[in-house]
Amino acid sequence: MHLKDIGIMNVFPDGNFLPERQVSRAEALVIALRAGDIAIGESDGITAFEDVDPSAWYGPVIKRAIKINIISTKDKTNFRPQALASKAEFLAFLFRSTQVNFSPYFGRTKNIATDIPEDSWFAPHFAYAKRFQIAHLPPDQLYRPHKTLSRREVALMTFRQRKILYGDTVTKIFVELQAEIEQFITLLRAGKPEMAEMHLQDITELTERLTHVRNNKDAVAASAISRSLNHFADGLRALKFKQNLYALESLHLASKQANRAIEKSENIAPFARELSNLINETLESFTNPQYSRIREK
């Protein structure tokens, strides 16, 4: 709805958004340019690609993107405007249009995901996307850079990047914190607590930074969910070593802090509710045989 209201993504004449419809390269490019608030202009009948009709709706879009170096004509004769856009291609269009500074990310291209080679042209794009959870990294650690995208996926990535583009320092810290929490919960859901714990230090550091610059309900909720995550991790470790009493105590503390986060902030509440559900499932595993799988993990 937000992207519709500000004219970045429109509904179709029948009133539908068609979230599962696949996005072409031309559509991906125009969404990216709009996300960066880049004016497109009119066609002058000139085209730089053999397969681009300057009179087509995307003719002026492609010409403008070439002029401001969003796309390049070097060593290329075709743009393939009707071909489906891949995740790597759309992120490149989006991040270039919103003027992301990739300098800090050229040195962070190792261990981004299993299928992101550190020397690939798109590695810095995914390093940035991972930091702010612009593109969600599944528990299997596969970003699938060559996967084609639906309008739903494009909308979500565009919305998240716009928050970074127009947010202040506090917003960026908060978005990065949300990304770390989401990864923690995703990995726990997948039965990978050791990998989830790797995010705890970053969550704690980001929470401290947030509370230093903003003493409001979001900061209080962030501190609460950080404590909840740490208690939960303690509880899971105790379960692993059959320290049931300590595990129960830690899980109840985790539940208490998660509920506090739910009460304090609407922004943190979705993550806190998901965490609370995980904690309750783990607690129920002590008495309900159907949750034995959770206990084993």
C-alpha distance from residue 63 to each of 53, 56, 89, 125 (Å): 11, 12, 17, 23
Asked whether 262 and 274 are in contact (CB, 8 A), the reply is no
Taking alpha carbons only, the member of 205, 213, 210, 203 closest to residue 183 is 203
Of 54-68, 141-155, 275-289, the range with the highest mean pLDDT is: 141-155
**pLDDT value, residue 290:** 52
Q: What mean pLDDT is predicted for residues 206-225?
A: 88
C-alpha distance from residue 147 to each of 20, 54, 142, 251 (Å): 14, 28, 11, 39
Same domain, yes or no: 150 and 195: no
Taking alpha carbons only, the member of 198, 262, 186 closest to residue 224 is 262
Q: Structurally, how many domains does the chain consist of?
A: 2
Q: Where on the phi/psi map is residue 9: left (φ > 0), alpha (ψ -120 to 50), or beta?
A: beta
Distance (Å, whole) CA 174 – CA 206: 8
Q: What is the mean pLDDT of the chain?
A: 91
**pLDDT value, residue 150:** 97
User: Among 166, 186, 208, where does a domain finish?
Assistant: 166
Residues above pLDDT 70, as percent of the chain: 96
Residues 76-106: pLDDT tens digits? 899 999 999 999 999 999 999 999 999 999 9
Q: How far is CA 17 from the centre of its chain?
A: 21
Same domain, yes or no: 92 and 201: no
Q: Which amino acid is at 276?
A: S
Distance (Å, whole) CA 34 – CA 88: 18
Q: What mean pLDDT is predicted for residues 154-182?
A: 92
- The range of the structural domain enclosing residue 113 comes to 2-166
pLDDT at residue 5 above 90?
yes
User: Among 133, 166, 199, where does a domain finish?
Assistant: 166
pLDDT at residue 293 above 60?
no
Angle 59-67/25-35 helices, nearest 10 degrees? 60
What 3-state class would DSSP assign to 39?
Answer: coil
Same domain, yes or no: 141 and 219: no
**pLDDT value, residue 47:** 79
Residues 113-153: pLDDT tens digits? 999 999 999 999 999 999 999 998 999 999 999 999 999 99
User: Among 148, 166, 184, where does a domain finish?
Assistant: 166
pLDDT at residue 215 above 80?
no
C-alpha distance from residue 120 to each of 124, 133, 137, 227 (Å): 8, 20, 18, 38
Structure tokens that stand for 170 in this block:
């506090």
Same domain, yes or no: 6 and 123: yes
Same domain, yes or no: 17 and 147: yes
Q: What mean pLDDT is predicted for residues 257-281?
A: 93
Residues 240-257: pLDDT tens digits? 888 989 999 999 999 999
**pLDDT value, residue 288:** 63
Same domain, yes or no: 152 and 200: no
Same domain, yes or no: 190 and 154: no
pLDDT at residue 295 above 60?
no
Same domain, yes or no: 7 and 57: yes
**pLDDT value, residue 287:** 57
pLDDT band at 201 (very low <50, low <70, confident <90, very high): very high
Q: What mean pLDDT is predicted for residues 290-294?
A: 49
pLDDT band at 42 (very low <50, low <70, confident <90, very high): confident
Q: What mean pLDDT is predicted for residues 233-246?
A: 90
pLDDT at residue 294 above 90?
no
